[in-house]
Structure 1
């Protein structure tokens, strides 16, 4: 298992590590530490933040990405087989999620969209809880405080406001934990995201805005969302930003560590644009062939985040048949566990819809529950009705 031994350290806020990326102006250079061919590229600022990543930890990052891709393909299959109502694939975005997720401390708190199942895996989510809401068995997936990650937000961009508010609470508590929020390129056009950036900048809140620019907001390409780099938008709010290759797990890990360190030492928020690609549909209800050129998909397939780490491991002589077999066995085991948990979820009772809506009793909700209970009772006992029908 990968552990963050550097502790987001190396330098403190204001040190050389925090100079990485542009802090204003336009034209961020794309930071890349692993090329698509698997070559390790040196970067004087970002290298400092991953100098502790051993060969063993690099192998662990590779394993994480393979496993979450297997989770993703299994969940997609479950939806196609009628076991899930919907699924939002993360195919192609594994490096963005694992690289950032493995940089976090246990006491950091994550506010995500509906696609960050890889981050949830890093936080230790129960595999069944990942699919619970998509099967329609619960209003949300898990208890946020057991893994310090809020349940997925469906409203585009709303989680950025939640993260900023939580970060302001961290300030009031005098803690050095950080709130991290994930969103896509399309969300940057939402009012909620812009309002969150305003508040985060005004109060210098310890929050990391992690934008996975996967090139498409459903069927709308990012070139229509913004005529400048998304990272450059942060400058207008007075927030430092970085633009990294989101298919490069080491570049993402380094950038996230820089941002976390800045927040822990009073440096305020950071905006990270991770340039990646959604290889699959927006959700399983989407058909990307209606709006996306096949050549574009082919070009991005050559930049696959898992393939490039595999190539790096081969260059380093770390990729043996036994190693690959062990990782594949782990991925298959995880997929079987998730599938079994999904299929064996008990059907919810009708009145379960009123559970966990509010943390304390609420007369308004209780009145609704009473009305719904009496409505259900008007149909009588289904078991008795079946018995009477059989007698007749």
Structure 2
């Protein structure tokens, strides 16, 4: 029944046929969203509520379903089942036969490609969606100029896109998407075409502008730095499902699985055997080294387990120079500067033991083959069962 309705759904003039409204739960409400493809990949029944003015990021690897979710919200792709509400209005319902076209969903969208009209100035590009909504003349020009000023491009209003840098073009695209104050702003990996310095600058512009205007936003990315810097909440996706949701700090501190820990922080995942457990902490032995972390579930002695440790949590020292008693011994396999930090690659415990990465602002003067001591606060690490 659901598939038949979805396939034959037509746009309707209002939402009178919609199922019971979720009311004022949020500017975006998604219930049981499904998008099936012949090959099986897609979205497998997700629920989501985004409050007014909140910014949510969907984070995951290619093929996890994040872009499919965004396309369904935008009306570019047609779901197989479920319901979508934007600004209190049903825009998609498989059971009620509602499928509003993109232009009637009151959304703004910022693409990976800037998608600016090359024959128009920056100001004219920003005015374009206003004209499409029958807002013309002085009002459209003033609104567009104010938006360009908000993104720092007021002095470049008369420039054509080919006279703007990549970062400036993306800010024009941002201004164009926001100028009519949509209920929902969608970002489809908008910074992937920019270099590292520009990404940071435009990222700050996006967050500042979204907050100032109070527009509800959903941001799709595979870049964890973007997701954590921009989001009030972020959602990790895998295989078409939500794996874990929360604030960036919550997910970093309490990852639900080794997968989430690795995705968010390039975590060191140490596999070994549980040696003991007490007071909510579990100690795992691997290659003669002992690794302790907070227990994510019940882990009996002798069970296989994985300890997740963030590279930034590791502390390093030279043997014999004040390392704490719980410190482990290892050897430097490699090291190199990564900008403001040094990355050390350490082989822990006995030869052939687990390999860890540690990030430090300090240059310890160590070279390949040197012995090193390393330790960390066990409360910053998490211990999972092997099947997690």
Identify, as 1 or 2, the structure richer in helix.
1
Q: Same fold (TM over 0.5)?
A: no
Q: Bigger relative contact order, structure 1 or 2, given CA contacts below 8 A and separation 6+?
A: 1
> Into which bin does the TM-score normalised by the smaller protein fall?
under 0.3
Report the TM-score, using the length of structure 2 for normalisation. Answer: 0.26
Report the TM-score, using the length of structure 1 for normalisation. Answer: 0.26
Q: Which structure has the larger Rg over C-alpha atoms? A: 2
